Amino acid sequence: MLSELRRQETIRALRNGTVPRAGLDALAVGLDRFEGALDEELKSAASGSGVFKCVRGEYGSGKTFLTRWLAEQAKSQGFATSEVQISESETPLHRLETVYRRIVERLSTSTVAKGGLRTVIDAWFYALEEDVLAQGDIDESDTEALNAAANELAESRLGNITREAPMFAAVLRGYRTAVTAGDGATADGLIAWLGGQPNVAADIKRKAGIKGDLDHFGALSFLQALLVVLKDAGHPGLLVVLDEVETIQRVRTDVRDKGLNALRQLVDEVDSGRFPGLYLIITGTPAFYDGPQGVNRAEALASRLATDFSTPAKFDNPRAIQIRLPGFTVDSLVEVGIKVRDIYADGASNPDPIRSLCDDVYIAELANAVTGGLGGKVGVAPRVFLKKLVADVLDRVDQLEDFDPRRDYKLTVSSNELTVEEQAALLPSSVNDIELDI
């Protein structure tokens, strides 16, 4: 049972045609086949391994839903998470300093929804102080000695990372000094710089003894250091989702090749053990993994990600580096529609009309109508179906006493209700798919 807050957030997201950020267990359909393997991989990351995973599926198959559902599972095990949308203008894959910045901007924990770096850093320093005090050599009231010992312990914990990313440690020391002195502006600026933000004032950087901004080459070292801080702050790992990686197929050839090389570098670094506790997952369409403008342009990367999908989907190996989402069927669309109806009714002041007027039979009728309105392409239907169900049907039944969806509602789907990707998915994939009247 979802809390009232989660219920409202879930319904609001569906009403707006987006994937909810939380409460996805209550909506999950068909993910049980992956659950065991993904849980094993989370446990592997929590024990200090690095994990890399690829999710493949056509538009509407549920890639974003799966990764957000996995993020919820990760948070329940103490992980921090971050979801980054790859795009040419906002987050180009080959600019690792930008990818790192987006990871930090979207850093989330079970207590912080977004931008959780400062909370994590504060928790880390608190944990260091507790470890220092536990040794019994320093009195809690001796602030100066406690700060010095905590800084020394921080240097020790960072170990080799301090040698690879000395500025990370320098900024941590500067931040700690600023907080202790009550210098909020400096503390804010140093946290921003630590998160890869550009344009931090020079005088603030000077106080920490640093220059310049984080670059492409320093980004991976900073990610390495962030994992250490997360671990000591009580988070066993970090789940990072790089969503819509297939967008690099639409950029210039040189930029695309740089992006693929950056992805190969990330795969290699994860496999080498450089990022203990990192679970890195990417999403993309089959064309990205198999087509000439995607992974196949980088031979080394293609060989790493190669997975056999020649057998029926029911025989897929969920432990493989790639997992595929076969997409929705009408039956699974009906199943998730019933779940949404029940979630909506659970919070309604008068649930009886919702359950009776929108019974299972009606949900099936609506699912078939939406699918038919989209040319029978079920893969395009989930977002549109759930938005129609909530905004056009359930909301009206809940608010209007004399509204009967069977009598008073006629489904319409116009092109301006569809995203660019949904409109593209409706186009015939080949000349053989075009129906002709002869």
Tell me what pLDDT residue 292 has: 92
Tell me what pLDDT residue 162 has: 78
Contact of 345 with 396, CB cutoff 8 Å? no
pLDDT at 421 over 70: no
User: Could you tell me which residue, 50 or 25, shows the higher pLDDT?
Assistant: 50
Interval 299-322 mean pLDDT: 94
Which residue ranges form the domains of the chain, and what is each CATH number? 31-109+235-324 (3.40.50.300), 117-219 (no CATH), 330-428 (no CATH)
pLDDT at 434 over 70: no
Determine the Cα–Cα distance for residues 13 and 422; give it in Å rounded to an integer: 18
Confidence (pTM) = 0.87
Tell me what pLDDT residue 431 has: 35
Least confident of 52-66, 130-144, 193-207, 411-425: 411-425
Determine the Cα–Cα distance for residues 27 and 309; give it in Å rounded to an integer: 27
pLDDT at 435 over 50: no
Determine the Cα–Cα distance for residues 239 and 44; give it in Å rounded to an integer: 12
pLDDT at 426 over 80: no
184-204: burial string, b at 16+ Cβ within 10 Å, e else: eebbebbbbbbbbeeebeeeb
pLDDT at 267 over 90: yes
Determine the Cα–Cα distance for residues 256 and 173; give it in Å rounded to an integer: 38
Between the CA of residue 437 and those of 376, 406, 426, what are the distances in Å? Answer: 18, 33, 19
User: Could you tell me which residue, 427 or 235, shows the higher pLDDT?
Assistant: 235
User: Could you tell me which residue, 335 or 180, shows the higher pLDDT?
Assistant: 335
Least confident of 145-149, 199-203, 246-250, 337-341: 145-149
